[in-house]
Amino acid sequence: MTKAMLIINPSSGQEKGLSFEQEAIDALKKRHEEVIVKYTEGENDAHRFAEEACEERYDTLVSMGGDGTINESINGLAEKEYIPDFGFVPLGTVNDFARALGIPMKEKEAIRLLENPEAKPVDIGKIVGERYFMNVLAVGAIAEATYRVSPEQKSKFGSLAYLIEGARAFKNETPFDLEITYDGNRWEGEAYLMLVALTNSVGGIESFAEHADVNDGAFHVFILKELSLPKVVTLIPDLFRGELKSNEQVEYFKASELSVSSGEDLVVNIDGDEGMPLPFEASVLHNELNVFVPDK
């Protein structure tokens, strides 16, 4: 008998998850005899439910929520002996993972996709000894500014709210020292921001790492080395043209393993949430999950 687990975060996306519950169950019932629904009540519930889906050998796990819920689900699935195919319905503000995979932003369309999806192998990132991520790591005050984005700003400006707070942090910003060893190479210098992207979409901007693919086995590392007027204004058009990696103020390289440290007290932002202090080591888990994407 085939079985699917549906995780719903009722609080995600201004509490719209529950209104799509029945549609999601109906879509999953087209391919599964049994559909079990789990509701999150707080932190770590989605993580725990996803682990349960592995242990109990569910064929499919589907999560409905924002990037926080999807990140927790992935943390429950990664590196398990048995891993169900994974699908999700994006309910959040930014939804970078969904953007990268071509999953529709409209809930009804994302749910319809569950009736006849293609399961695509997808990379995820691992912070060694800590946790997993699916989109981005960031270090620097500009990244930390994103914690100041309020729910009101998010509902008013969407993902633009993060750009606005980030731009505010540009003003009084000073560089920090950074040392990165990667795949047998080394980069050392001063930086204003470091971003490690696994997919093309960062902060809702799909052209951020335009050349990045969800299963290319690589981290795409961007280091903002300079932040001086008037050159800084060239970052914006390059960002939206997908040319950020060629901007003279940016150092760019690809890596499958990274070790990052700094002499200063810095904290890494993981998929938009506050992570742990530096130093850290990260590696790509190539084709770790099978994720439902639109059938071609």
Ligand X SMILES: Nc1ncnc2c1ncn2[C@@H]1O[C@H](COP(=O)(O)OP(=O)(O)OP(=O)(O)O)[C@@H](O)[C@H]1O
Residue numbers annotated as active site: 273
| Position among 4, 5, 11, 137 found at the interface with ligand X (CB under 6 A) | 11
Q: Considering the complex, state which of residue 65 and residue 117 has its C-beta at the smaller distance from ligand X.
A: 65
Q: Considering the complex, state which of residue 40 and residue 247 has its C-beta at the smaller distance from ligand X.
A: 40
* Residue 90 CB, nearest approach to ligand X (Å): 8
| Position among 1, 30, 41, 228 found at the interface with ligand X (CB under 6 A) | 41
Q: Considering the complex, state which of residue 21 and residue 257 has its C-beta at the smaller distance from ligand X.
A: 21
Does 40 bind ligand X (CB under 6 A)? Our answer is yes
* Residue 159 CB, nearest approach to ligand X (Å): 9
Does 251 bind ligand X (CB under 6 A)? Our answer is no
* Residue 92 CB, nearest approach to ligand X (Å): 2
Does 152 bind ligand X (CB under 6 A)? Our answer is no
Does 75 bind ligand X (CB under 6 A)? Our answer is no
CB 92 within 8 A of CB 67: yes
**For residues 225-241, b (16+ Cβ closer than 10 Å) or e, as one string?**
bbbeeeeeeebeebbee
Does 203 bind ligand X (CB under 6 A)? Our answer is no
Binding pattern for the stretch 44-73 against ligand X, x by CB under 6 A and - elsewhere: -x-------------------xxxxx----
Cα–Cα distance measured from residue 279 to residue 263, given in angstroms and rounded to the nearest whole number: 9
Does 43 bind ligand X (CB under 6 A)? Our answer is yes
Does 9 bind ligand X (CB under 6 A)? Our answer is yes
Binding site for ligand X (CB under 6 A): 9-13, 40-43, 45, 65-69, 92-94, 154
